[in-house]
Amino acid sequence: MLSGKTILIGITGGIAAYKICELIRQLKKSNANVKVICTPNALNFVTKLTLQNLSQNDVAVEEFNIKEWKPEHISLADEADIMLIAPATANTISKIAYGIADNLLTSVACAFSKKMIIAPAMNCNMWNNDAVKNNIKTLRSRGIEILEPENGFLACGYFGKGRLCSIKKIFDAVIENIKYSQLLSGKKVVITSGGTIEDIDPVRYISNYSSGKMGFALANSAKQMGAEVVLITTKDFDAPYKIIKVKSALDMQNALDYEFSTSDIIIMAAAVADYRVKEYSDQKRKKTSNQTITLELVENPDILKGLCEKRQNSQKKPLIIGFCAESENLIENAKTKISKKGCDYLIANDISRTDIGFGSENNEVTILDKNGGMKRLEKASKSVIARQILEYIDE
């Protein structure tokens, strides 16, 4: 089931550390390559020799135990398909939430760009502490999966929520996420993001409030699902896939035309300007004597509609998904747009709300398909919404 997959397990200093021995055994039985990182305190609860024998790999503990030219925290992050931290103490959870990298495990977590699962275990009062709750919320907002602790008798003598969830639940989560990492394997996904910029003169331009975060979240999720990803964006992002930086609507159209013939899925998440200035001025425009200025605008190409028309006469027929941002009559306007554009799916955003959409870390959307179907995705972080969108269109 897990042949060819490397599972990276981080163990922190909690009494539940001994339970991870059984998890390693089950993962090895499923043919996974298991690598273990321990915090120094974890070795107070389980021995390095035990973990080495079960995983059949060296157990990493020291930050600067570099055997090859690559720093160990980078090489471990690069070679793993998924990272699991179990049990995760309140201390380690807090460090990861704030990007603190003061030991090998937290350094690897900071460098890890693929799917991460965290299974906390701690005293019930610690779990209910507001600081820990906020840190858990932060991790979830980044797309990290949290397997919440269970109620029960705790080693400290308390009874409450804090004990490590079942090994079966952890094992099943690993299997589910490995399957998830293969959903788009072999497919090329092209995604646009950000608001295009239409220059007026050397110092002024027309644009919009799009942050590009939704498109970036879609690109990250597609990468995690095994796709070859190309992000065409007006924003500055660093990511482990191809990024094409563009500026105007015409630039974006040219980049899409270049990638079209090799694409399997195209997602138009960018906010493309409808108009551009007819005549760009090489010099800064000066104030006029009557205190007004007139700009003549011409319509930009309808990139989404153009892609759908191009597909009709092309051997390559990628799945095409559009986005629409509406401030009123969201569903009615979206239905009209999907009919006019000819795309397979349309993601409708309500930009009248300040808690979602432009600039926000969260979103809430409705997916419309060309056959009249609709699915609403309730408010969640953009990374979660991105995952749900991709899972839906891949069904």
Helix/strand/coil (H, E, C) string of the chain?
Answer: CCCCCEEEEEECCCHHHHHHHHHHHHHHHCCCEEEEEECHHHHHCCCHHHHHHHHCCCEECCCCCCCCCCCHHHHHHHHCCEEEEEEECHHHHHHHHHCCCCCHHHHHHHHCCCEEEEEECCCHHHHCCHHHHHHHHHHHHCCCEECCCEEEECCCCCEEEEECCCHHHHHHHHHHHHHHCCCCCCCEEEEEECECCEEEECCEEECCCCCCHHHHHHHHHHHHCCCEEEEEECCCCCCCCEEEECCCHHHHHHHHHHHHCCCCEEEECCECCCEEECCCCCCCCCCCCCCCCCCCEEECCCHHHHHHHHHHCCCCCCEEEEEEEECCCHHHHHHHHHHHHCCCEEEEEECCCCCCCCCCCEEEEEEEECCCCEEEEEEEEHHHHHHHHHHHHCC
Please give the span between the terminal C-alpha atoms of the chain, in angstroms, as a whole number: 22
Q: Which residues, at least 6 apart from 92, have a Cβ–Cβ distance to it below 8 Å?
A: 10, 12, 39, 85, 105, 106
The residues, ordered by sequence, that sit 6+ positions from 169 with a Cβ below 8 Å of its Cβ are 147
Query: Which of 215, 154, 142, 226 lies closest to 184, judged by CA?
Result: 226
Domain at 6-180, CATH class: alpha beta
Listed by start position, the domains of the chain span 6-180, 188-393
Per-residue pLDDT of the chain (395 residues; tens, 9 = 90+): 788 899 999 999 999 999 999 999 999 999 999 999 999 999 999 999 999 999 999 999 976 655 554 555 677 888 899 999 999 999 999 999 999 999 999 999 999 988 899 999 999 999 999 999 999 999 987 878 999 999 988 887 888 898 999 999 999 999 988 887 788 989 999 999 999 999 999 999 999 999 999 999 999 999 988 899 999 999 998 888 999 999 999 999 999 999 999 999 999 999 999 999 999 999 998 887 777 888 999 999 999 999 999 999 898 899 999 999 888 999 999 999 999 999 999 999 988 888 887 878 889 999 999 999 999 999 988 988 998 999 999 87
Tokens for 234?
């007006």
In this structure, what token pair is assigned to residue 218? 């879609």
Say how far apart CA 266 and CA 351 lie, in whole Å. 23
Say if residues 351 and 111 touch (Cβ distance below 8 Å): no
Per-residue pLDDT at 68: 54
Predicted local confidence at residue 88, as pLDDT:
97
Contact yes or no for 121/164 (Cβ under 8 A)? yes
Place of tokens 């992000």: 231
Looking at residue 130, its pLDDT comes to 97
Q: What does each C-alpha distance from 73 to 20, 37, 111, 387 come to in angstroms?
A: 21, 10, 7, 27
Global pTM reads: 0.72
Q: Hey, what are 329's tokens?
A: 């009559």
Confidence (pLDDT) at 64: 61
Query: Where in the sequence numbering do the catalytic residues fall?
Result: 156
Q: What is the pLDDT of residue 289?
A: 78
Q: Under CATH, what is the fold of the domain 188-393?
A: Rossmann fold (3.40.50)
**Residue 385 contacts residue 358 (beta carbons within 8 Å):** no
What is the C-alpha R_g of the chain?
25
* 59: β partners: 36
Torsion of CA 98, 101, 103, 106, to 10 degrees: 60
- Strand 145-146 to 115-120 pairing: parallel
pLDDT score for 182: 81
